Amino acid sequence: MKKLKEDGYCWCGSGKTYGSCHMEFDRKIEMYRKKFHKVPPRNIIKNEEQIAGLRESSKINIAVLDYVSEHIREGMATEEIDKMVYEQTKAMGGIPAPLNYEGFPKSVCTSVNEQVCHGIPSKKIWLQDGDIVNVDCSTNYKGYYSDSSRMFCIGNVPEDKRRLVKTAKECVEKGLEEVKPWGHLGDVANAINMHARANGYKVVRDVGGHGIGLAFHETPFVSYVIKKGTGMLMAPGMVFTIEPMVNMGTDKIYIDENNNWTIYTDDGLPSAQWEIMVLVTETGHEVLCW
């Protein structure tokens, strides 16, 4: 770690002196490092200006999902959801982050029933009575990225699927309660996994959350199946998603060989997921996007 002078500029780009900005932060990080904790790298710690940019990006993402909430309906092709997201995001000055990201062909992910995530909108996929669908929306606004998803119940959804959707949301809430400075990502994972299992469900192991901010996906990978007290230390200025994928049956999954994107449950039973984007603060956390 480069030695900085107390009266020199801070490494975070805030324009403040190191002594008045991140000097004490670095001392605490070094203390944890010496105790063999996994500490966050400097490049994922956001300064005040960057956090303000993330809030503006999040406003667009939230507004787009609010719009989807008002217009999603039975009989709608998932392609129509993609069109709504593209048009609404562009109208507010943003760019749909998924569009052309590593070859993804659409502006949003729409995952129906046994699709765990990365469902590709299509004119051939129609929302039917009894479906549950995850709409995963992400926005790039002036180089700042936001990301969140919501579940929607279409028509007369059976009680077992409604319970899955409800429990998946509760898992996010349980995990959020554990987001606090100098805790561990494993604390979040443990709360989520314990709640899912207590309700008879499994959390997907191979796909998880991620850091976000100046890029769509940043360090760290956020697992929901690691132990309490393990994983990366949560430090003020970190931003990441909480988005456990909760399966009614097995936690085993597979990727669609035809598009190399869409992930399905291995047993064909439904999966549910809610996603929020959270900032670790000096006193706890701030949910930036939902």
* pTM assigned to the model: 0.96
Q: What domains can be seen in the chain, in order of their start residue?
A: 37-289 (3.90.230.10)
For 240-268, what is each residue's pLDDT tens digit? 999 999 999 999 999 999 999 999 999 99
Q: Answer yes or no: is pLDDT of 194 > 80.
A: yes
Biggest alpha carbon–alpha carbon distance for the chain: 64
Q: In what order do the strands lie in the sheet with 263-265?
A: 115-117, 263-265, 253-255
Q: Answer yes or no: is pLDDT of 4 > 90.
A: no
For 78-116, what is each residue's pLDDT tens digit? 999 999 999 999 999 999 999 999 999 999 999 999 999
For 31-70, what is each residue's pLDDT tens digit? 999 999 999 999 999 999 999 999 999 999 999 999 999 9
* Sign of the dihedral defined by the CA atoms of residues 97, 99, 104, 108, in that order: positive
Q: pLDDT at position 238, please?
A: 98
Q: pLDDT at position 58, please?
A: 98
- Structure tokens that stand for 179 in this block: 């987001």
Q: Where residue 2 falls among pLDDT bands split at 50, 70, 90?
A: low
Alpha carbons within 13 A on the beta-carbon side of 235: 25
Q: pLDDT at position 3, please?
A: 73
Q: pLDDT at position 222, please?
A: 98
Q: pLDDT at position 187, please?
A: 98
Cα separation, 133 vs 21, whole angstroms? 44
